[in-house]
Structure 1
Amino acid sequence: MAQDNVRESDDSLPEHSEGIRVGRELLAATKPYVEESTATSWWYVGSTFLLMIAALTGAGLIPWWPLRVAFSVLGSLLMVRAFITFHDYLHGAILRQSRVAWWLFHAYGAFTLTPTRSWRASHNYHHGHVGQIMSASVGAFPLITARMWQNATPWQRFSYRAQRHPLVVLLSYPIVFGLNVTILPLLRDPANHLDSLVALICHFGLIAILWLLGGFTVVFFVILLPMTLASAMGSYLFFAQHSFRRMQIASPEAWSYYRGAMESSSYMGMNRVMQWFTGNIGYHHIHHLNVRIPFYRLPEVMAAIPELQSPLTTSLAPGEIADCFRYALWDEGKQRMVTYSEASSGALP
């Protein structure tokens, strides 16, 4: 992928300094870990998809509603894990030579409103620009400076706050995946996004079939509830790992892929159960440093490379979640993230 090639040849990456590897040397230290075990990859992919299908089938067939809710929630968690395997496949980290995997993940992307063409384009852009100030939402949530906020019009402020509002994350199923990832690319460039049309047909076709077979209740427990929960969880993980209180933003002159990975991407602390369901995506600083490392090897990389063991962190604690939404602007003078009220009350530098 384009951003991988740029990262490996970027002359702006700092060199080895005082025994601590940074930049190209740190990236080189991760390269032995891009080697995947095909059998291991298939074990994780196969088991995840089978468990997900079993959980969603139970949500659709079991008559007792509390158990249906439990299976539906379990299905949503397994959808998050399945999405991480889909994400790794599109990065070329797992099963890149497998035609079976190609069909499996393209089908998964279609049924979950994640057509591969638009997702890959926007996500690659995100990897190439993480840690940069962007007023537009291209492959990521927008991030502007306190000065830009102070100079913004009321409409620009409303638009920025709306895009980063918790409700957008909560309603990611229709807004992020339905509208931004699927419908808008199709409307803007129909010829190059026919897979978005296929995704809409597959997703809503499945809803129609389930409705005919079991009515709204089956659709709710098999599609609507798990898609809402999985989309919200996935979007929050994506949002929080690049918009957290302790993150750093480098100036355009000082920015590099290394700094984007190590200073603008977090390590999200989770218990082992949540690490499993989220496919180790909490090791996000390592993933951004080298996207070709399979998700199941990320803990191994952190344990083996000392320079990756003291990352900027966040967590799923309620206070940390609130901070991720509150600290929404980068203050160039203070060199830290600030709240809207801090930016509004501060003087222009």
Structure 2
Amino acid sequence: MSVSATSPAVADPALSEFLNRSGLVKPGEGVQLVPLTGGVASDIFRVEVGERTFVVKKALARLRVAQEWNAPVSRNASEVGWFIEAQRAVPQAVPDILAHDPALGLFAMTYLDPAHHSIWKNELRDGRVSAGFAAAVGQAVVAIHEATARSAEVARRFSNDETFHAIRLEPYLEATARRHGDLAEELCALSRDTLRRKLALVHGDVSPKNILAGPAGPVLLDAECAWYGEPAFDLAFCLNHLLLKCVWKRQHAAQYLASFDALAAAYISGVGWEPPEAVEARAARLLPALFLGRIDGKSPAEYITTEADRERVRRVARHLIASRPKRLSHIRDQWAKEILP
């Protein structure tokens, strides 16, 4: 294998070893690696070998954020496992895994051409907001939860409490608690309660930046946070992004809120492993905490840039955390009063 001299892989022998060991590249073949942007937790490359193109991903031990944020690289193997489980439930909604080497912490998957698979975050930014697509996201996520709910075997394979705590609960809830002492007891209790609940296979990062709008519907990527636990976390995490987008592009706020309603309704209607209202109540408790976490946690939303907007989120989130709503529509209505003309 010969790698392009301009490629970052020149400095990473593990990547070259993976490509050779997996059989994805044969001896003597020329390889071009193009770094892909957008993530803070992994090195990701588009690999071009002759007429073949695929993606290789390697987890980082220290994430690329301003505050110190470390995470186990073993999450790479869990991400592969999540893709395999998800494909059984929603085969059209995940890429194919081509090769995986747990020892090296690398895997390869199919490359999805941006010409036909746009990033949902970009669609939302540019005003191409579809409530129908949001509903399809909700349907895909709940189908994965339903397919894995109360499975002792899946629970055993994704017993990733340490990783989930390190890259989700600590940076979003507990770090925020340190900034809001009067809410610390509630936020830390919420972190503990979430970690204790073991019900279904959770993606952990259902965000518009990790979802492609493909010809057959949504495609979910970046399952590094995969964990067997609280399915309400995935629902709340994704809905949180739709609330935050209302600050980013105020002119599309009504459409974002319509997508919020569509995604929530589609998800709740697919819950079969427990009473749907129980999942909704837990998601409604998580949502305002995650909302505040994207202002004062370790991963602040990069597009909320003014202190006035940050204070707007804080004001609504703090009130909702204290009042503990049980319905997602209540959170949506409170935010609509704040953000709509």
- Normalising by structure 1, report the TM-score: 0.29
Higher-RCO chain (CA-CA 8 Å, sequence separation at least 6) = 1
The structure in which a higher percent of residues are helix is 1
- Normalising by structure 2, report the TM-score: 0.29
